[in-house]
Structure 1
Amino acid sequence: MPLLRAAVGARLRRARTAQGRSLREVAAAAGVSTGHLSQVERGQAEASSEVLRAVCRSLSLPQAVLLRAVAADLALAETVAVLAPAVAPAADPVPARAAVQALAA
């Protein structure tokens, strides 16, 4: 499951690129460094509530809309994580068998 910061960052990047805006442009409008916004978008840094508000304003994106989208992304990821083992194909009981067969061929 993705971390909250990764989901927030992905949604911010999606909003920025959908508007055709550069990282530098949005960072300048939000009053944050380009490096920090880049780290936030890549899920490598947490955005404070102040930074989040500023970036959302620069994107004309209501924070509530962003947070609802992030919540939906996380809910979907959690559902997939819970259901994936139930629908995954059975594992080969002898995983080395394929490797041995490949070497013998």
Structure 2
Amino acid sequence: MMLLREALGDSLRRTRVAQSRTLREVSTTARVSLGYLSEVERGRKEASSELLNAICEALDVPLSDVLSDVSVALAPAPAEDRAVTAAPGVRVDDGTRVVIPAPTARALAAA
């Protein structure tokens, strides 16, 4: 499971690298220490909303775009992409719950 701070850091780093900018350039523009920005990008530090906004302004990208990217990264995989195995007679309901059907009257009478 990916943490929110890791997903935020990944998104910010991808954006910075796509712009061919260095940590130093972005940290200077955002007025954030280079070390702290590095920690945020590596998902080691929780960035405040003010800090995230400053970094996004330095990258010239709306915070909403970063948050949208993060929400996609954190969204669960579709059920068909999950490797779920179930015993015969057991069905997997939407990939999050295993539903075990109650025994039928016929099965109870046979037992």
Identity across the alignment (%): 49
Structure-2-length-normalised TM-score: 0.71
Q: What corresponds to 1:28 in structure 2?
A: 28
Cα RMSD after superposing both structures: 1.8
Shift of 1:86: 1.0
Q: State which structure, 1 or 2, has the greater radius of gyration over its C-alpha atoms.
A: 2
Shift of 1:25: 0.6
2:58 equivalent to 1:58: yes
AA at the equivalent of 1:26: V
Larger helix proportion of the pair: 1
Shift of 1:83: 5.0
Aligned partner of 2:82 among 84, 91, 96: 84
Q: 1:22 to 1:6 in 2, by over 3 A?
A: same
Q: Deviations over 1:60-100 (max 9, x none)?
A: 0000111011001100xx2269953416xxxxxxxxxxxxx
Q: Which whole-Å CA distance do the structure 1 matches of 2:65 and 2:36 have between them?
A: 22
Q: Which has the higher contact order (CA 8 A, sep 6+)?
A: 1
Q: What count of residue pairs does the alignment treat as equivalent?
A: 85
AA at the equivalent of 2:61: L
Structure 1: state its 5+ residue gaps: 88-105
Structure-1-length-normalised TM-score: 0.75
Structure 2: state its 5+ residue gaps: 86-111
Q: Which whole-Å CA distance do the structure 2 matches of 1:82 and 1:41 have between them?
A: 31
